[in-house]
Amino acid sequence: MIFALILFIFVVTVYLYSTRTFDYWKKRGIKHDTPIPIFGTNAKGYLMQRSMSELAADMYWKYPKEKVVGFFRSSTPELIIRDPDIVKRVLLTDFSYFYKRQVSPILGSDEPLLKNLFNVDGDLWRLLRQRMTPAFTSGKLKAMFPLIVERAERLQVLLSSSHGKTVDAREVMARYTTDFIGACGFGLEANSLNKEDSEIRILGQKIFKVTYKGAFKAMAKQVFPQLCKNVRLTDRFESDLMGMVNAILTQRNHQPTGRNDFIDQLLECQKKGTIVGDSIEKLKPDGTPEAATLEMTDAIIAAQVFVFFAAGFETSSSTTSFTLHLLAYHPEVQRKVQDNIDTVLARHENKLSYDAIKEMSYLEMAFKESMRIFPSVGFLLRECAKKYTFEDINLTIDPGVKIMISLQAMQNDPQYFDKPEEFRPERFDPNELDSEATKYVYMPFGDGPRACIAAVLSKFSVEPAPDTVRYPEVEHTPGVVQIIKGGLPLLFKERKKQTGVL
């Protein structure tokens, strides 16, 4: 009897706790699906039936006449933005109200590896950005380019050995990306193209492997944030990554080596001492910002290495392989890309270089069009930092309300792109594109390594394999990056007349 009473009290308590905010959007007249206890309107996400990108896009298309749509991630109210003008307000005009990036609370910002430029917000984000932005100048990227070309040559050799057999473009691009990030980022010889079970490749797979246990832990942190604040989501790979970074730093005696790779840039940042800047979180009584400071510790360095590797590895391999997939189904576009590559290489002694890639304008347009159709990161997240009113729609939201922008939906909306289902690189011709009209609609994450596509198409043509799926499905995982289910099998056939070589 006592046990039954305790169980009843527990169930009622969980029910009341998890439904306490469910009238939030109703009170404000915002359309939304009916939430259910514990899950809110995110049941398909928690049960791994739809990814975050898919859920945001689903809600976008379900309410086509609305500028904003309500959503509940468990009991937390979220607002899905459907209007570019409101997107501009959130990301730019009223940034001081929406500087919080919302990823940290979801992932557990108390974890060392998550104190990186992608996950953090507020003062920590501003100070890291202030110190690290100079590390990515065009000159420094150009200096690293020979390392990229060397890995691209190995990619050509690997594809030549396939002898017309089906190759999973997603997997081979992941291995290539692992190699060039290992070299350009950390001075490591990953050798993933020749060795599938290389240590750094296994680490990359471990980082992005989504398990039911991991999904449950992420859900628990959202539903019961205070009870689960010590639950860690990076424990599966934290020691491996921290060990790798510590070994690199020890090998370099914590001093820049002149390699000008990412580790060197971080060590240069560390040498400059304490980072000081104006706070965006704290103000003095007179309204001026307080001073914010940050020490560039080894742990902070490790966190930046984590996001550099994880974000670069997954987004680059995703975008390059999907671009090749689209080109395989559009041979007329592929020929134009190849003609562009061949013409440019002929001007550069048939050698791939940083300057040559910058001249490949049609390749650039094809790449941008691929990222429009399938952005590797299909959404943006923000959080309201202080009470804010969207005056044109008479909506006031409170601090803590989450903001989601569906890039996947907006970039495929016929309101902004004519016949969005068509793969047409010409829409990104500078003479045709109205960049101002699409500025807050088209916002893909990163540019990806176009060099590897140039290297591949200078020597090979890609075609669908017998088991290639024309419109592949996305994995219904709760991760940030969209991952194609089952890979992207393609045929790589050597070109008969090859004018471009490395």
Place of tokens 């009470």: 387
Place of tokens 């859900």: 219
Rounded to an integer, what distance in angstroms lies between the CA atom of residue 5 and that of residue 15?
Answer: 15
Q: Do the Cβ atoms of 234 and 114 come closer than 8 Å?
A: yes
Which residues have C-beta within 8 Å of that of residue 260, sequence separation ≥ 6? 140, 143, 144
Rounded to an integer, what distance in angstroms lies between the CA atom of residue 448 and that of residue 312?
Answer: 8
Helix axes 450-459, 361-373, angle to 10 degrees: 110
H/E element holding 406?
A: strand 402-406
Pairing of strands 289-294, 379-383: unpaired
Token reading at 299: 């742990």
Token reading at 321: 């392989």
Q: Which residues pair with 403 in a beta bridge?
A: 79, 382
CA proximity to 64, closest of 436, 414, 395: 414
Q: Do the Cβ atoms of 75 and 18 come closer than 8 Å?
A: yes
Phi, psi (degrees; rounded to nearest 5) at 485: -75, 130
Token reading at 77: 């109210």
Q: Name the region of 352 (left: φ>0; alpha: ψ -120 to 50; beta: rest).
A: beta
452 is in an annotated binding site: yes
Q: Which residues pair with 292 in a beta bridge?
A: 277
Strands, E assignment, 76-148: 76-81
Rounded to an integer, what distance in angstroms lies between the CA atom of residue 308 and that of residue 183?
Answer: 12
Rounded to an integer, what distance in angstroms lies between the CA atom of residue 371 and that of residue 267?
Answer: 33
Place of tokens 């990806």: 448
Token reading at 88: 């501009």
| HSE (side-chain half, CA atoms, 13 Å) at 307 | 20
Rounded to an integer, what distance in angstroms lies between the CA atom of residue 154 and that of residue 459?
Answer: 13
CA proximity to 340, closest of 315, 320, 357, 317: 357
Residue 131 exposed, middle or buried by CB count within 10 Å (0-12, 13-18, 19+): buried
Residues 125, 131, 133, 136: is their CA dihedral positive or negative?
negative
Binding positions: 452
Binding positions for heme: 452
